[in-house]
Structure 1
Amino acid sequence: MREGVAIRRDETAEAVRVPDFGVAPAGAVFADAIKRPLLIRVGKQLRGVFDRIIGASSLVSNAPVLDVREFGWTELLRDNWEAIRDEALACEGRSPALASISPDHRAIAPVNKWRSFFLWGYGYSIEENLDRCPVTRSVVAQIPELNSAFFSILAPGTHIPAHRGVTKGLLTCHLGLSVPRDGDARMRVRNRIVRWAEGETLLFDDTYDHEVWNDTPGTRVVLLVQVRRPLRQPGKWVADAFLGIVRRSAFVQEARANVMRWNAAMRAREM
Structure 2
Amino acid sequence: MEISQSVECWWRGLQLWYNDQDYMHAIVTWEEAMGFISWANEELFVDTSLKNSAIQERTYLTLHGDTASLSELSPLLLFLAGCYLDAQEYRKARVTLRRCLALASIDAERDSTSNKNDLFHRTIRECIFYVEEDPECLKSWREARELIQYAIKVDQQSEKERLSEIGEANSVPWSDPWQRPGFLYPIINQESVYDRLSHPSWCRLLEERWGDIRNEFHRLIHRPGGARTLSASPRHWPAVGSGVHRGGAGAHDGSVVAPGGDWREVVIFGSGENPQLAPFTSELLEQACPDAVSLARQGGGEIVFSVLAPGTHIRPHCGSTNLRLTAHLGLVIPEDNLGHKRCSIRVADQWLDWEEGKIIVFDDSFEHEVINERSTLRGVLLLRFWHPNLPKEERGIALQKALDAKSDDELQRYSPPSPSNDRPMMLRAMEKSRCTLCSRHGYSSIRLDTRSLTFQCQCGQSITS
1:192 is aligned to 2:321: no
Distance 2:351 2:384 in 1: 20
CA gap 1:179/1:114 in 2 versus in 1, 3 angstroms? same
Give structure 1 stretches of 5+ with no counterpart. Answer: 1-31, 36-41, 252-271
Alignment deviations for residues 85-110 of structure 1 (CA, whole Å, 9 cap, x no partner) = 11112223331110203311132124
**1:54 maps to 2:54:** no
Provide the residue aligned with 1:145 in structure 2: 291
Q: 1:100 to 1:196 in 2, by over 3 A?
A: same
Could you tell me whether the CA contact under 8 Å between 2:185 and 2:398 is conserved in 1?
no
Higher strand content, 1 or 2? 1
Q: Distance in 2 between matches of 1:204 and 1:33?
A: 32
- Quickly say closer, same or farther: Cα 1:52–1:113, change in 2 above 3 A: closer
Partner of 2:202: 73
TM-score, reference length from structure 2: 0.40
1:135 aligned residue: 280
Counterpart check, 1:242 vs 2:401: yes
Q: Aligned with 1:84: secondary structure?
A: helix
Q: Kindly provide the amino acid, as one letter, of the partner of residue 197 in structure 2.
A: R
Q: Does 1:97 align with 2:229?
A: no
Whether 2:365 is the aligned partner of 1:207: answer yes
Out of 223, 241, 249, the residue aligned to residue 381 of structure 2 is 223
Q: 1:247 to 1:200 in 2, by over 3 A?
A: farther
Deviation (angstroms), 1:237: 5.5
What one-letter code is carried by the residue in structure 2 that aligns with 1:105? D
Structure richer in helix, relative to its length: 2
Q: 1:54 aligns to what SS in structure 2?
A: coil
Change (3 A) 1:237 1:135: closer
Superimposed CA distance per residue, residues 9-52 of structure 1 (whole angstroms, 9 cap, x where no aligned partner): xxxxxxxxxxxxxxxxxxxxxxx9749xxxxxx8x949946966
Question: Identity rate of aligned residues, in percent?
Answer: 29
- 8 Å CA contact 1:171, 1:204 repeated in 2: yes
Which residue identity lines up with residue 353 of structure 2 in the other structure? R
Paired position in structure 2 for 1:119 = 268
Q: 1:175 to 1:103 in 2, by over 3 A?
A: same
Aligned partner of 2:32 in structure 1 is none
Q: 1:2-81 maps to which residues of 2 (within 5 A)?
A: 34=86, 45=125, 48=173, 53-56=185-188, 61-70=189-198, 71-81=200-210
Residue 327 (structure 2) pairs with residue 173 (structure 1): yes
Q: Distance in 2 between matches of 1:45 and 1:159?
A: 25
Q: Which moved more, 1:142-151 or 1:109-118?
A: 109-118
Superposition CA RMSD, Å: 3.2
Deviation per CA, 1:108-166: give whole Å up to 9, x if none. 12466000111112xx572xx31121111012113142122101100001111000000
Please state how far the C-alpha of 1:240 moved relative to its aligned partner.
Answer: 2.3
Residue of structure 2 aligned with 1:107, choices 255, 271, 282: 255
Q: Number of aligned pairs?
A: 204
